[in-house]
Structure 1
Amino acid sequence: MTPPPVESTPLSFGDTRLRIEDVVAIARRQRGAALSSDADFRARITRGTEFLDRLLREDGVVYGVTTGYGDSCTVVIPPDLLTELPHHLFTYHGCGLGRFLDADETRAVLAARLASLSVGMSGVSLPLLEGLVALLQHDILPLIPAEGSVGASGDLTPLSYVAAVLCGEREVMHGGVRRPAAEALAEAGLAPLRLRPKEGLAIMNGTAVMTALACLAYDRADYLCRLATRLTAYNVIASAGNAHHFDEVLFAAKPHPGQTRVAARLREDLHSDRPPRNEQRLQDRYSLRCAPHVIGVLEDALPFLRQLIETELNSANDNPLVDPDRDQILHGGHFYGGHIAFAMDAMKNAVANLADLLDRQLALLVDTRFNHGLPSNLSGVTGPRAAINHGLKALQISVSAWTAEALKQTMPASVFSRSTECHNQDKVSMGTIAARDCLRVIELTEQVVAAMLIAARQGVTLRQRATPETRIEGAPVEMLADLSARIALVEEDRALDHDLRQLLGDVRAQRWSLYES
């Protein structure tokens, strides 16, 4: 069974603005979910449904309630079929394919949709919001295919699986078992919903999938940014590089804040003193010397990307919106995921550059022409047996493969808009594709990082063997000791896939605390 959340105080939807960290905590079952008990919040939600009911009685026409959807908005739905319309919406959108979102991703989707609907402009009822909360509380996770969304009108097809599960249809993962939704709901004592007018549209016509994936991507990218910095410090040490490339005065002359932070972290790791008047060892190659300029792009982008993601997360992003206080139905295009698409396209570019940077650093470390006295391929074997041992030769090839694939994925998804749905959706964001691409780039970069952790452990140890006076202090010492305890030095050739998978798990679990700021 899935373990219960470790945080005793659940996140109350409707009470406060969510941060990326809130979604990540819910996704990882580190925090539970609840619906606000605030009277004003609940009254606002109720006013929305009451206004819709009154509008139906008085006007008789509301898009997506008494009409068909999208290009079919001119089709009038007979009154005796109105209650069936939301059911038909999620039914005919049941055409997703590809892998299913994993458990963390699915919880994040539920949290993102709850955040949006809790704004109070979607015309949904309290029972619907409570139903979404119940899915999180009981960890009943809709099986959501990852593919099939063009990112406007929102994530229609993947979110149809959320709507269907609330109504007791399709399948879920519950307790690690794939089973019918109706069965899991019944076991948890939950009754299937009968969706009210507009509720099918409200659940599905929004950006929750791309936004949820963006929250998870941000968390992983932020950690990779820090880990790439620590690895660069190790690689400077291993290659007997010039630590003065990261001088404070030097970086004050080009003061991008993130780039400056990366340089400061490298100075902290390397304990570099003020440089001499003129260097004997002048300039390292760009992959070391320009590391703050590469890593710093992501470091500088993260605050802006956070703004885009969190604004989307806390927005009402379906259509139409309901303003019960002014008695208005507002027709617009807030389902368009352009900001998330841009954020994910930008993030995957910056993260892929981390992979490329580390790949180049490894290429220098394994090559005796550039590694300043280390063994070929960082082999730990000496004597006659050195001839048949190849150290990290194959690992460097794998790193190049993973890096190339990450770089290939950086083509912006947002520029591939396709006119769809009888040209009603004639400009779409492709935000969900961008988010999936970004997660793939992050996954590949994490694989590069796992390999670089082996290389760092190997390279620094061999440098200390060759140059006993090599100086390492502070946090890098602790992390290196942890790596050395977990990963044996590569002396006689051995398969490294087990080590790589262990380190990949460590990276994704964010095992090492890296820098305070």
Structure 2
Amino acid sequence: MVQKNSQTVVFDGTPLTVIQVAALAAGKAKVKLDTSDEFRARIDRGAEFLEKLLREDGVIYGVTTGYGDSCSVSVPPELVYELPRHLYTFHGCGMGEAFSLEESRAILAARLASLCQGYSGVRYRLLEQISTLLIRDIIPIIPQEGSVGASGDLTPLSYLAAVLEGHREVWYRGEQLTTAEVYSAEGIEPISLRPKEALAIMNGTAAMTGIACLAVTRAQYVVRLATRITSLCSVAVEGNDFHFDPMLFSVKPHPGQQQIAAWIHDDLHTGEVPRNSNRLQDRYSLRCAPHVIGVLQDMLPTTVAFVERELNSANDNPIIDAEGEHVLHGGHFYGGHIAHAMDSLKAALANVADLVDRQIAQTVDPKFNHGLPANLSGATGTQAAINHGFKAVQIAASAWTAEALKGTLPASIFSRSTECHNQDKVSMGTIAARDCTRVLELVEQVLAAGIAISCQGVALRIRDGQLTLQDLQPALQQDLERTAQLLTFLTEDRPLEQDLRRLVEAIREKHWVLYA
């Protein structure tokens, strides 16, 4: 449900941001549909134009014809109003796990944003019904599997179309219930979809775009947390602060890379003399961290632009130009930009996981960590012989990293020919977005291990008198305190699963305040 002190996201055809969609999906924003007469009239003009064409016996794809390869099949006038129900019914073949509640909200928001552009030939009443679902948090249960990303997300979005008419199942107050019983409890009347309306809902990129909105906002935090982990690891292993000197990075002017170096420099800077000048060059996982994380930082603006343009587009077919009275047949349902954005993003994310995994391995290994105990065990005396600290966490982080790297194979290269070769070149955008989400989950697990291990390493330096808390910049002091709220100092071996799960959840909730 929507949290207190939330923002309001207005759906009126003006551009939305990925941040707004993510806030709405997380229940941190309210939905408001524009109720002005001007907006209502602009939306309804498309539906009225289609009604006019119907009265004049015009041929309209998906209204008086079948769908896709069946476009040559004429639909008798008396069956035109039954056609939308058949479209969402035969597409009700989704499989796999359902999208999460948060993901499903984002999908609905993306579809509503597109329909609000006013080029889909739907009624304002349809937009009201979708906004009601979001406002009351009655969210269709949408299986993840079954879309090739053209003609749009047909099968996933069929679950939204069906729910609008009162069918299938929804998330409601933490339960999965039939739409009919929830509508009855809430006093909601199901709507009857008009000609073109089921097609307008389904024949678009909302599933992949909604998931992509969430992916890029999570990736923005990954950048910042990986940067802070690098700073903490550098302190833990007594790294060379001057690897991040502004002069050094002024000669290679990738702005994202420069930003990462500047953040780390600010975290570590203690004066004009480096803290650890006895070692000229650290291993690449520290020295080249701005170069690795910087790739992700530099590509994010382009990725966000791809996603936001798709979010704020009319992306179904045909496009209805009510002002000029044109029905324009094209392929705006094709999710190529989302596919390539997600394929590129997951590769950059997995590379960051690989970087942090190498930092973890260096920090726990007494051959490379410059005096820290093996596996960062806090045990002392005779107990040190039987305690193994973060040994297994390092192994697990390596496994998560390997799986993330394995998941970077581009989905967009696996185009299939489907639907009697009508859809003979498809985007695979929804699979790319789902893959990116899985890679993100694994990356966040690696980062959870990274924050735990880097903070333990710094805490050991402080405990053993090699460093004082006051030697650290305030931001690093705050990170140690925030991490300690979730993970107590590891002295005696204990199962760390629940600690790691808390850390992962904290990452998703942006527990650490990282850089302005």
State the TM-score bracket (shorter-chain normalisation). Answer: over 0.9
Q: Which residue of 2 aligns with 1:418?
A: 416
* Partner-residue secondary structure (3-state), 1:486: coil
Greater shift after overlay, 349-358 or 473-482?
Answer: 473-482
- What amino acid is aligned across from residue 494 of structure 1 in structure 2? R
Aligned counterparts of 1:236 and 1:352: Cα–Cα separation in 2: 21
Alignment pair present for 1:490 and 2:490: yes
Q: 2:252, 2:335 → 1: CA distance?
A: 34
Partner of 2:28: 30
Q: 2:13, 2:203 → 1: CA distance?
A: 23
Equivalent AA in structure 2 for residue 484 of structure 1: A
Counterpart position of 1:391: 389
Task: Tell me the distance in 1 between the aligned counterparts of 2:35 and 2:103.
Answer: 27
Deviation of the 1:367 alpha carbon: 1.0
Offset, 1:59:
4.0
Q: Which amino acid aligns with 1:164?
A: A
Task: Specify the SS of the correspondent of 1:182.
Answer: helix
The answer as to 2:464 corresponding to 1:430 is no
Q: What are the equivalent positions in structure 2 for 1:176-195 lying under 5 Å apart? A: 176-195=174-193
Equivalent of 1:226, from 224, 228, 241? 224
Shift of 1:444: 0.5
Match of 2:364? 366
Q: Which amino acid aligns with 1:500?
A: L
Distance across 1 between alignment mates of 2:439 and 2:326 = 43
- 1:417-496, aligned counterparts within 5 Å? 417-469=415-467, 471-496=471-496
The answer to whether structure 1 residue 261 and structure 2 residue 248 are counterparts is no
Counting only pairs closer than 5 Å after superposition, residues 112-123 of structure 1 correspond to structure 2 as 112-123=110-121
CA contact (8 A) 2:98 2:141 kept: yes
Shift of 1:188: 1.4
The answer for the alignment partner of 1:102 in structure 2 is: 100
Counterpart residue type for residue 480 of structure 1: L
1 CA distance for matches of 2:498 and 2:284? 32
Aligned to 2:59: 61
**Native 8 Å contact 1:367 1:377 kept in 2:** yes
User: How does 1:202-221 map onto structure 2 within 5 Å?
Assistant: 202-221=200-219
C-alpha displacement at 1:179, in angstroms? 1.0
Q: CA deviation at 1:482?
A: 2.1
CA distance in 1, matches of 2:5, 2:133: 18
Query: 2:505 maps to what in 1?
Result: 505
CA drift of 1:355 comes to: 0.7
User: Contact (CA 8 Å) 1:244, 1:273: kept in 2 or not?
Assistant: no
Partner of 2:137, secondary structure, is coil
1:70 equivalenced with 2:68 (yes/no):
yes
Tell me whether 5-14 or 183-192 shows the greater mean CA deviation. 5-14
**What is the deviation of 1:469?**
3.7
* Inter-partner Cα distance in structure 2 for 1:71 and 1:313: 27
TM-score (norm 1): 0.97
Q: Which residue, out of 324, 329, 332, partners 1:331?
A: 329
Q: Distance in 1 between matches of 2:467 and 2:31?
A: 54
Residues 32-181 of structure 1: pairs in structure 2 closer than 5 A: 32-181=30-179
Residues 461, 467 of structure 2: 8 Å contact kept: no
Residues 141-170 of structure 1: CA deviation (Å, up to 9, x unaligned): 101001100001100000000000000111
Unaligned ranges ≥5, structure 1: none
User: Which segments of structure 1 move beyond 4 Å, counting only runs of 4 or more?
Assistant: none
Distance 1:436 1:9 in 2: 27
8 Å Cα contact 1:374/1:466 also seen in 2: no
Query: 2 CA distance for matches of 1:482 and 1:287?
Result: 25
Q: Secondary structure at the match of 1:10?
A: strand
Q: Which one of 374, 377, 383 corresponds to residue 376 of structure 1?
A: 374
The question of whether the paired residues in 2 share the 8 Å contact of 1:239 and 1:463 is answered with no
Secondary structure at 1:98's aligned position in 2?
A: strand
Q: How many angstroms does 1:292 deviate by? A: 0.3
Aligned length: 513
Paired with 1:408 and 1:468, the residues of 2 have a C-alpha distance of 40
For 1:485 and 1:446, how far apart are their aligned partners in 2? 18
Name 1:199's counterpart in structure 2.
197
| Structure 1 residue 466, shift from structure 2 partner | 4.0
Give the AA of the match of 2:346: K
TM-score after normalising by structure 2: 0.97
1:16 CA drift (Å): 2.6
- 1:81-114 deviations in Å (ceiling 9; x for gaps): 1111000000000000011111111111111000
Structure 2, unaligned runs of 5 or more:
none
CA distance, structure 2, for counterparts of residue 332 and residue 198 of structure 1: 15
Aligned equivalents of 1:323, 1:99: Cα separation in 2: 38
Q: Offset of 1:4 from its aligned partner?
A: 3.5
CA deviation string 1:27-49 (max 9, x = no partner): 11111112112322211111111
Range with greater deviation from structure 2 (24-33 or 127-136): 24-33
How far off is 1:281 after superposition?
1.0
- The whole-number CA distance in structure 2 between the counterparts of 1:416 and 1:456 is 39
Larger mean Cα displacement after TM superposition, 134-143 or 383-392 = 383-392
After the TM superposition, which residues 332-347 of structure 1 pair with which residues of structure 2 at under 5 Å, given as runs? 332-347=330-345
3-state SS of paired residue (1:81): helix
1:65 shift after superposition = 0.3
Displacement of 1:279? 5.0
Residues 419 and 425, structure 1, Cα contact 8 Å, conserved in 2: yes
Contact 1:117 1:129 in 2 (8 A): yes
Letter in 2 for 1:426: D
Instruction: Tell me if the contact between 1:6 and 1:29 (Cα under 8 Å) persists in the aligned partners.
Output: no
Instruction: Decide whether the 8 Å contact of 1:247 with 1:275 is kept in 2.
Output: no
Q: Please report how far the alpha carbon of residue 368 of structure 1 lies from its aligned counterpart in structure 2 after TM superposition.
A: 1.1
In the TM superposition, residue 240 of structure 1 has moved relative to its aligned partner by: 0.4
Contact 1:341 1:432 in 2 (8 A): yes
Q: Post-superposition shift, 1:15?
A: 5.1
